[in-house]
Structure 1
Amino acid sequence: METVTFSPPLYKQRHQMVVKLVEKCKAQKVADLGCARCTLLSRLKFCRFIEVLVGVDTDLELLKDNMYRLSPLPCDYLQPRPSPLTVRLYQGSVAVKDPRMLDCDFVSCIELIEHLDTADLVKFPEVLFGYMNPAVVVITTPNADFNPLLPGIVQFRHCDHKFEWSRSEFQAWCLNIGRKYDYSVEFTGVGEGPEGKETLGFCTQISIFRREHIRTPETEVKNSESPYNLVYEVVYPSLSDRKILHNAVLNEVIFAAECVRRQFIDSDAGRQSEWRTWGADSRECAQDRFSPEVSRIGGQLHIPLHTFFTNPRVRQLSGSLQQLQEILQASDRVKLSHSGSLVLYPAGAENSDN
């Protein structure tokens, strides 16, 4: 039998589908149940709308071994998020209710349900749909109808699988949940088979649940104990933090001033030169012109403050010319003239910002 391969790999197709749905929903609190190696979470952390990202798994050692994937990167400090992001990992069972899992906008269960034993599978819908009651839920699981195309499978695709459902079995289970908890259900999948085998469906079958009405959990349930064990928590730098916002403004001003210095020194005095500034929504450089009012006096360049405010990124971050002036006056990283209308920047060697 010809080996069936998928490009990109099946797990990447599943994750990409989830990321697209999260971005479309503009979800702010997202949970991945059965997060395992945190691979999906490590992609979701780049979604700009998410403010709380939660992973849950029963395997404590697996969580500890992979939580580094969720740590902030250097770029997260150089280009802080516009909104805050808190990432948490819990050790816990999806068959157990924990009040910290309430208020989720989006929950993903990627290749999870087939690992649940009968008792947990019975409890799972009530925990997820009845208690957590998120706006959107995505569940993926192997399609048993597709298994004849996968060589070497005797019973299930993985030794830990407790079952693998056909499309009719999975759809019946999902539709019953939708009726009971007031969710609409859409079915799709990823991993197409070879030509002529379309009747077998996708290798991975997927259900997308969308909540029809919001239901408020009972007060005693909301105030119940929190059985999950918090394994990891990190808060990403964001522009919602005043100190980080001001630091971002200073970085942009210093970068722009250094561009002015380099171009000014390379050009004839008093002649307009081009300098490069960061675009408001891009990390690529966009060209602009600095004012002919820029002058060199002794060892300093005198750069009008309003010149920096023409930089879209500086204007976006500071909000107004007055606020830009106040941010610079409060810092020792940038020197202003006595009137506060000029930035005085070294004209000689590159500013080390020490």
Structure 2
Amino acid sequence: MQTGIIAAFGSQLIDWLNRYTFVEEQRFSDADYARQVASSFCDELLRNGTTTALTFCAVYPQSVDALFEEASRRSMRIAAGKVLMDRNAPDALLDTPRSGYEDSKALLERWHGKGRNLYAITPRFAPTSTPEQLEAAGTLWREHPEALVHTHVSENTGEISWVRSLFPTQQGYLDVYDHFGLLGRGAVLAHGVHLTGRERDRCAETGTAVSHCPTSNLFLGSGLFHVHDAKDPKRPMYVGLGTDIGAGTSFSLLATMNEAYKVAELSNYPLDSVKAFFLATLGSAQAMGVDDKVGSLEPGHEADFVVLDPAATPLLAQRTSRVSDIEELLFVLAVMGDDRAVRATYVNGVLAHDRDHASA
């Protein structure tokens, strides 16, 4: 949905949304444009070695149809849903609690479980939904617990203050979602940069996952997500790694691992290569609840995998020729790699992208 505004200069989150994101999203009322963007989005995912993705569509149902149709053509696993927004956005992007519920229910019944598609009930974030809409979203999830829930939480300090003013009777940002029944296994919250210890405990208790999006958080100046707090052995949370296009600046999970390492270093936590690759693979699959299908090469799993080329560039080849073990090789790939290092991408055992034979 936000592919077209990658690298759009802005200040922090709310200004960036108003200046770029909401303007771009209104273009998705055109079904042809939605299909065009969905097609390029899926191709870019595969070129960067991503076979499964959880993402936001626009408020328009046709944007959801377009994405699932394009993903189905490529046999990818996409989890997505129509954004729910009934306030604090341009009029052209607003739905209502009733229309949002009905549109989401129809899309869920049309797409969830069809092929590899998964539906995610998607309130954008608490400030753009009234209590009535969040209540309707919680009702829909209770009716369809097999679906996912996808929204944002505690990305930016100004956003947190805004939520507090809009929901003064709740104990915090996370408690808004908890109150409306939107926490639990299958709920994936983007960012979580400023979650409190109590809120992290609640995520761990309910099985709610967080998507760590370091390039986006750095680009918008939102803050540093503390992986070591989220993965505290006493109450570990489900955490996956997210690119968060288009506040995020790259489709590449290798490039995203590079930024995750730097963010962790600033938090005095050594994010080694094994932990970084875990976040991008099995950790993300666990966050989405699909680790019984993808995320590892366990017998019986679907054969989604990526072939990485440690000699993709002259500098990378020079550096990887000097590594002493697999962990160092993975670390170099995570720090120096990008889409050029993705030699091939396989989806369910079938070649879906070949770097050296890709069409011009």
TM-score (norm. length: structure 2): 0.30
Q: TM-score, normalised by structure 1?
A: 0.30
Q: Which has the higher helix share?
A: 2
Select the structure of larger CA radius of gyration. 1
* Higher strand proportion (structure 1 or 2): 1
